[in-house]
Amino acid sequence: MKKHLIEIVGWYGAAATIAAYFFVSFSILSPANLWYQGMNLTGALGITIETWAKRDYQPFWLNLIWAVIAAAAIVNLMLHL
């Protein structure tokens, strides 16, 4: 059950990251949009969880850094509302 849940979280992460990229690439959302940054944050965290569980460290670190950048962007956006 735990393995299945981690797999679902990883797939969510991939889908959210791709959706965020799609939305910003076609000007549906801007990089200054909380939804965009939220999809980046949760997507990166989903992939981080799955790659940590699989001990696949390159994508783990890439997505952990991606999540930190997204979290910082969210804080920045919240401070400027």
Per residue in 31-52, pLDDT (tens digit) is 999 999 999 999 999 999 999 9
Give the confidence band of 81 by pLDDT, cuts at 50, 70, 90: confident
Give the confidence band of 80 by pLDDT, cuts at 50, 70, 90: very high
Question: Quick check: 40 and 12 in contact, CB under 8 A?
Answer: no
Domain ranges of the chain: 2-79
Helix 34-53 to helix 57-79 angle (10° resolution) is 160
How many residues would you count in the chain?
81
